[in-house]
Chain A
């Protein structure tokens, strides 16, 4: 992004402590959730504002990016710059510290996301990517992940070298493309106060704040159901759609993987073929030279054998890496889901006795 330069110029460079955790303001979380949920199933992105303090990246504000990315990159960056300026004018943090993206069932591992994040991290070394999984959040628990590309990956990506050799050298596998940072959610003191007020509120307490009218209406029904009473979404027993969806995705990814495997095998075969040809050629030369030596002739001139037999270039393993990461993601999701679900099923079983 062209604006990255300006951003980095604007960035307050102090202290070189690497960030080790992310702290999100509650409002940021709500804004992200709202934005992502509204535009489902499309994937949307937005900017994060804030500051890093002593290794903790405090995100205090965010704004959504416009959806229509087809027009041009310029529009998006113009919008971004303009937005930042407006925010500065109203005295909100306008220091860009990363971006967020919505996702569905955790399928975010793709080239463009990596590229985007790479650019971000190039410009702002302390930027972070927040992934919000709408589908999984709907299962009860909000699902947010803060990710950063690892330095090893950054290095490789910069060099655009994803051969097997380079990967092993950098000890890079699909599991350490990203490093995940812990997220804490912080409320401002005022908000906390409001929440306490809401918690203790009963019908008699009139909440005058106009934007909370919705809460009031729900709270006005049975007394026992407070606004902040625990949600029972978590106990939902409709398991099939989730697992099925996951499995479907998994299968698609495996198909992709299969294709990659094919490509790789094809490459391997062609390498082998070339090597064989080369070996045969060398052997031929060797015998020829031996013969010539016997008959007292000078050996054949040394030719550049490597130039004659071009070993095909190894296909980039990045795709493969990402696909593996994606598969890993899905598997983890199912796993994560299966554990609690089993518990739930047992609980239900007990109940039905």
Chain B
């Protein structure tokens, strides 16, 4: 027998595929061992023969040819195990002979262990006979030894005796398991062993070359592949041909998903089938099966599809699309009734009717994209591997674009929107330059009919989104909207993004959305906040960022890593889910920058606010940013503060300087933060921040020191804070108008005249009481709601309305007239503070 077929047999013990059967039939009996010498030359021949399969295969073959010459000696699992056991048994027998029971015991244990390991094999072949013989003999020897021991005067040493005794026990117990075999053996000891020798000899002794079935490495697989080809040279050319291509396909699709299917074999057969197939119909069928076969490969410990496999899938998918583009009369659709059993004829389009083939391209695209993301999640982002992997994105993107074009041709709305969404998700977070680069690379890869180089990224995003708004399901619409908002925010179009966010009413329903959408929403919110910051709209920036940055769970909310779990709150499953949601590194928003922006804008709002509150205990309660306050408190509690080292220290230092009116120092500290360099146009932002700090310093100064002045010259203020007189006047007027400062501007002498008015005790009490009463009413309403759930809708509006009336009556009256337009803005801010705390559910 040829080694190959020996090997094939022992290897395919589990698979038992028809394939090997066929091969065995076709094999001529007189194949001898010497045949294997020619295997490598045969191999080359075969490679040449299969050259016609298509250029795609050439690469993979040529590089593995060299490997082929080194003959690898690999034994089958069975042989390996049995040899191990046999060794143990023989040394055990040796131990018996020299009366060394300690070693005998050890060997016995080893043999048993080996037996356990080989349990799977034994289930098929039965207990190895040499083992049975050994244990049967062993029992006798032990008995004899014990008797001898009793009678003899010379005692064994203690450990030996002990081992002997325990052996006795063990063997007794052990032999009960193999009672039947032992009996058989006892009946006829001589022939039993002979039989065994006859049967075992050829199997055990011969080293064999077999496929290493458990290897995942693709190069190994290919080597093995080549190992097969020569045999195929004799048989396959006949066997795998036009006629039985469908039969093969059927076999494979039937075997798919079964427990002991060898997926590699299948993929290999399919590859060869592909080479054989020549009509587009055949090719499409084979490719569909082949791509699913690629996805079927087991995922190892890494948690993602291996990159070569992924590339294969990518390649085949491209091939499939090429075929589909070339022959438009074949259409791959999901909802096609399965062809009948006798599909073994080539279907050709007749009189213009397209041929429908069942299959789901969009599922392939989804899977391919998901696997790509998964691999990115699992590769360390700081290695070159990550960058290399990221380079594959262009290929993936082009496949997506290509399939999108294909679906567009077929008018499959659902599939189009799914692929469009995928496309959008690859683009929305990228800056213009990158998008254009990707688009151009894609255009270069694809035929001109499908993709044209696109220079205007915003228009592209806009087109994609508008398409989704019009055609997609509500979930995809939501996601598209969020991506669009993100994109706008990325390009500093704050108002456009904000209006989109508000008009879509996303914030009201986002809580019900799935977690990934919520994460996208959070990302969009953060980007919007950063955008507002870049545009110098500090208040808007702070409100946008507040809900996410203020929680201390930023990482989770943005799916950019797991924060340390306190008290082991998350179960392993939750953690796993969370891990799956993580965004690949290149999509991350820089968290340090985010924190810096958040704290800076908090500082600009909170410091004047704190100054305004002054010593008034009620005012102290009005906190804009809790985390900022906490940090500031912590910072000021320290006895000695060194020079600032990190971003946080800088901001805290700046905040302190600002509250003391030392705006120059504050600006200095803020400008010293290195992370601003990550922002586009860092200089402009620093300049903006400087101006804001000056303004806020002025406000803070007025709040803090108004009680010490009866009037301040505006010129003096302008000089102190290095601001133009006009802006000083505007700031002071604004403060007066907002009733933050009880003062008036004397335009004749250019001074601010400060009034000192303190609310009387009754007034402040009345205010406090109003608040209490509102709470009281609210409590009552809640109780009522609990009691009568059907009325829950009705009273909801009550308490809030009351409260507002009670506390803000004065202000509201004034708001009426000229501030109508600003009301809108305020509402927006309230609305914005509405981000999602989802993260985990």
Which chain A residues have a beta carbon within 8 Å of chain B's beta carbons? 239-240, 243-244, 247-248, 250-251, 254-255, 257-258, 261, 264-265, 268-269, 272
Distance between Cα atoms of A257 and B762 in the complex (Å): 22
Q: Please, what's the 1-or-0 string for B770-798, where 1 marks a CB less than 8 Å from any CB in chain A?
A: 00110110011011001100000000000
Chain A contacts of B787 at CB under 8 A? 268
A240 in contact with B762 given A265-B786, A269-B786 (CB within 8 Å):
yes
Asked if B786 and A247 make an inter-chain contact with CB atoms under 8 angstroms apart, the answer reads no
Select A254's contact among B760, B761, B765, B772, beta carbons within 8 Å.
B772
> Which of chain A's residues has its CB closest to B786's CB?
A268
Contact yes or no, A258 B765, CB < 8 A? no
Q: Do A264 and B765 form a contact, CB below 8 Å, given A254-B772, A254-B776, A257-B776?
A: no
Complex CA gap A247/B766 in Å reads 7
Q: How far, in whole Å, are A257 and B777 apart by their CA atoms in the complex?
A: 11
Do B779 and A258 touch (CB < 8 A)? yes
Q: Is B768 an interface residue (CB 8 A)?
A: yes
Closest 10 A/B residue pairs (Cβ): A247-B765, A261-B779, A240-B762, A268-B786, A254-B772, A244-B762, A244-B761, A247-B769, A243-B762, A254-B776
Q: Is the CB of B766 within 8 A of A258?
A: no
Q: List 13 A-B contacts (CB under 8 A).
A: A239-B762, A244-B762, A244-B765, A248-B765, A250-B769, A251-B768, A251-B769, A251-B772, A258-B775, A261-B779, A265-B783, A268-B783, A269-B786
CA distance A239 to B762 in the complex (A): 9
Taking A248-B765, A255-B772 as known contacts, 13 extra A-B pairs with beta carbons closer than 8 A to each other, sorted by chain A number, are: A239-B762, A240-B762, A243-B762, A244-B762, A247-B765, A250-B769, A254-B776, A257-B776, A265-B783, A268-B786, A268-B787, A269-B786, A272-B786
- Chain B: minimal CB distance from A248 (Å): 7
Shortest beta-carbon distance, A321 to chain B, in Å? 15
Give the distance in Å from the alpha carbon of A328 to the alpha carbon of B571 in the complex: 53
For the complex, what is the distance from the CA of A268 to the CA of B228, rounded to whole Å?
76
List residues of chain B with CB under 8 Å of any chain A CB. Answer: 760-762, 765-766, 768-769, 772-773, 775-776, 779-780, 782-783, 786-787
Whose C-beta in chain A lies nearest to the C-beta of B782?
Answer: A265
The reply to whether B783 and A264 contact each other, CB–CB distance below 8 Å, is yes
Question: What are the residues of chain A within 8 A of B768 when measuring CB–CB?
Answer: 251
CA distance A244 to B768 in the complex (A): 11
Q: How far is the CB of B130 from chain A (nearest CB, A)?
A: 56
Instruction: Provide the bound-state CA to CA distance between A250 and B762, in Å.
Output: 13
Number of cross-chain contacts by CB at 8 Å:
41
Q: Within the complex, what minimum Cβ distance (angstroms) separates A252 from chain B?
A: 10
CA distance A257 to B783 in the complex (A): 13
Contacts of B761 in A (CB 8 A): 240, 244
- The complex places the Cα of A138 from the Cα of B766 at a distance, in Å, of 23
Q: Are A258 and B776 in contact (CB under 8 A)?
A: yes
CA gap between A254 and B762 in the complex, in Å: 17
Residues in chain B near residue A254, CB distance under 8 A: 772-773, 775-776
For A261, the chain B residues whose CB sits under 8 A away are 779-780, 783
Task: Give complex CA distance A272, B787 in Å.
Answer: 10
Chain A residues near B782 (CB-CB < 8 A): 265
- Write the nearest CB–CB distance from A228 to chain B, whole angstroms: 35
Whole-angstrom CA separation of A243 from B769 in the bound complex: 12
| A255: B residues at CB distance < 8 A | 772
Give the nearest-CB partner of A246 in chain B: B765
* Nearest Cβ on chain A to B659's Cβ, whole angstroms: 32
Q: In the assembled complex, which residues on chain B have CB atoms less than 8 Å from the CB atom of A258?
A: 775-776, 779
Q: How far is the CA of A265 from the CA of B782 in the complex (A)?
A: 9
B residues in contact with A264, CB < 8 Å? 783
- Kindly state the separation between the CA atoms of A272 and B786 in the bound complex, as whole angstroms: 9
Q: Tell whether, in the assembled complex, residue A240 and residue B760 are in contact, meaning their CB atoms are under 8 Å apart.
A: yes
* A40 CB, min distance to chain B CBs, angstroms: 22
By a CB distance below 8 angstroms, the chain B residues around A268 are 783, 786-787
Taking CB atoms, residues of chain A closer than 8 Å to B766 are: 247
Find chain A residues with CB under 8 A from B769 CB. Answer: 247, 250-251
Tell me how far the C-beta of A326 lies from the nearest C-beta in chain B, rounded to whole angstroms.
13
Nearest chain A CB to B117's CB is how many angstroms away?
A: 47
**Interfacial chain B residues near A248, Cβ < 8 Å:** 765
Distance in Å: Cβ of A272 to nearest Cβ of chain B: 8
Residue of B nearest to A248 (CB): B765
Complex: A268 Cα to B779 Cα, angstroms: 13
A5 to B782, CA, bound (A): 48
Looking at A243, A248, A251, A269, the one whose CB has the most chain B CB atoms below 10 A away is A251
Name the residue on A nearest B787 (C-beta). Answer: A268
CB contacts (< 8 Å) of A247 on chain B: these are: 762, 765-766, 769
Q: Which residues of B contact A265 (CB under 8 A)?
A: 779, 782-783, 786
Cα distance A268–B775 in the bound complex, in angstroms: 19
A243 to B764, CA, bound (A): 12
Q: In the assembled complex, which residues on chain B have CB atoms less than 8 Å from the CB atom of A257? A: 776
Nearest CB in chain B: distance from A148 CB, A: 30
The interface residues of chain A lying within 8 Å CB-to-CB of B773 are 254
CA distance A248 to B765 in the complex (A): 7
**A258: nearest chain-B partner, CB-CB:** B779
B20 to chain A, nearest CB (A): 52
Q: Which residues of A contact B762 (CB under 8 A)?
A: 239-240, 243-244, 247
Closest-CB distance, B136 to chain A (whole angstroms): 54
CB distance from A342 to the nearest CB of B (A): 15
Kindly state the separation between the CA atoms of A251 and B772 in the bound complex, as whole angstroms. 7
Of listed A244, A258, A268, A269, residue having the most chain B CB within 10 A: A244
What chain B residues lie within 8 Å of A272 (beta carbons)? Answer: 786
Distance A239 CA – B773 CA, assembled complex (angstroms): 22
Q: How far is the CA of A136 from the CA of B588 in the complex (A)?
A: 69
Distance in angstroms between the alpha carbons of A257 and B760 in the assembled complex: 27
In the complex, which residues of chain B have a beta carbon less than 8 angstroms from the beta carbon of A240? 760-762
Residues of A within 8 A of B776 (CB): 254, 257-258
| Bound form: Cα–Cα A261–B776 in Å | 9
Query: B765: nearest residue on chain A (CB-CB)?
Result: A247
CA distance A146 to B202 in the complex (A): 119
A248 CA to B779 CA, complexed, in Å: 20
Q: In the docked arrangement, what's the CA distance between A261 and B762, Å?
A: 27
Residue of B nearest to A243 (CB): B762
- Bound Cα distance from A99 to B752, whole angstroms: 64
A91 to chain B, nearest CB (A): 52
Q: How far is the CA of A151 from the CA of B760 in the complex (A)?
A: 45
A255–B776 Cα distance when bound, in Å, is 9
Most buried by B among A247, A250, A264, A272: A247
How many angstroms from the CA of A314 to the CA of B509 in the assembled complex? 38
Q: How far is the CB of A26 from chain B (nearest CB, A)?
A: 36
Bound: A341/B186 CA distance, A: 122
**A330–chain B nearest beta-carbon distance, Å:** 11
Contacts of B765 on A, CB cut-off 8 Å? 243-244, 247-248, 251
Complex CA distance for A130 and B697, rounded to whole angstroms: 62
Which residue of chain B has its CB nearest to the CB of A262?
B779
Nearest chain B CB to A52's CB is how many angstroms away?
41
CA A247 to CA B769, docked complex, whole Å: 7
Complex formed: what's the CA distance from A248 to B769 in Å? 8
Nearest CB on B from A192, distance (A) = 42
In the bound complex, CA of A255 to CA of B773 (Å): 10
In the complex, the chain A residue whose C-beta lies closest to that of B779 is A261
Give Cα distance in the complex from A261 to B779, angstroms: 7
Residues of A contacting B779 with CB < 8 Å? Answer: 258, 261, 265
A251 CA to B761 CA, complexed, in Å: 14
Q: Which residues of B contact A250 (CB under 8 A)?
A: 769
Report how far A240 CA is from B759 CA in the complex, Å. Answer: 12
Most buried by A among B760, B769, B772, B775: B772
Closest Cβ of chain B to A176, distance in Å, is: 20
Determine the chain B residues whose CB is within 8 A of the CB of A239 once the complex forms.
762
Nearest CB of chain B from residue A308's CB, rounded to whole Å: 24
Q: What's the minimum C-beta distance from A276 to chain B, rounded to whole angstroms?
A: 13
Contacts of B775 in A (CB 8 A): 254, 258
Chain A residues closer than 8 Å to B780, beta-carbon distance: 261
Taking CB as reference atom, which chain B residue is nearest A242?
B762
Inter-chain CA distance A154–B760, complex, in Å, is: 44
**What is the bound-complex CA distance between A257 and B769, given in angstroms?**
14
A344 smallest CB distance to B (angstroms):
16
A132, chain B: closest CB distance, angstroms: 26
